[in-house]
Copies of this chain bind each other. A is one copy, B any other.
């Protein structure tokens, strides 16, 4: 029983900007520790071209390892194109994380494709998923720069809605609004969720993905909760960023998100003590990375988990 669905994106989005390639055995150990925490979903790796992204050269090994680590979670991966989807599906991916940027400039910088071209690619990925019949993976259509772009600045809500409509027309199972560069604020969150829900209809699930660049990550989650959102991405230790979004810093830290939600009386199903232990493993494996987790620094307070 959980009220809020948290997808741990550390092994994918979190490692995306980390220069030091994490050894496969270390990734497996970290993912095994995450598997003990109770997450319903893991964004485990990225099926990007291995020669361009050595961090994810082991994707075909990591994905089945993550599946083997727990029967309780849905294991997904970022797939940038049809080739990536083919590899991800072959490796057993249960969720395909596709993206079409709301900002044209970010789309071109990140994928060398226009938004329309990228939406066509998502359409191909959906067809591949559907070809698996009953075993078809869930297709998540994420929209980076939905709350602003460090290249273009403000991004019009009608552009975000347009991309969301394109994704739904291509057959995605879910829409994700991603604050790739940390520009979101609570007012914008409420407003954009309302606009996108209006565009895609009330039955299309929407998830939110926030970065904490400006320190507003958890306030934005709160605004999202108030707008009725119940699925959030987060990365252990606040790792993360986007190589094509200058100035972007880490994702919201999963530890801090779980702490806030549980303190608010919302059930995440996640064991915070085990999660902090998993983050210690991560921190030891990446000594040069900055671990941005308030909980890790402050420790669990006396009031955690005690009935009000």
Contacts and interface: CB of A to CB of B under 8 A. Distances in A.
A148 B247 contact: no
Nearest to A149: B302
Interface residues on A, range: 35 or more
A118 to B, nearest CB: 23
Nearest to A221: B219
B301 A148 contact: yes
Q: How many copies does the complex hold?
A: 2
A186 B294 CA distance: 16
Interface stretch (A23-31, A39-47, A210-218): A210-218
Contacts of A203: none
Interface string A230-252: 00000000000000000101000
Interface of A: 148, 150, 152-154, 181-183, 185-188, 212-216, 218-219, 221-223, 247, 249, 253, 256, 259-260, 263-265, 293-295, 297-299, 301-303, 306, 308
A55 B151 CA distance: 45
B219 A260 contact: yes
A183 B154 CA distance: 34
Contacts of A148: 301-303
Contacts of A265: 187
A84 to B, nearest CB: 31
A188 B263 CA distance: 8
A265 B186 CA distance: 10
Nearest to A262: B185
A69 to B, nearest CB: 28
B153 A294 contact: no
Nearest to A151: B302
A105 to B, nearest CB: 12
A50 to B, nearest CB: 31
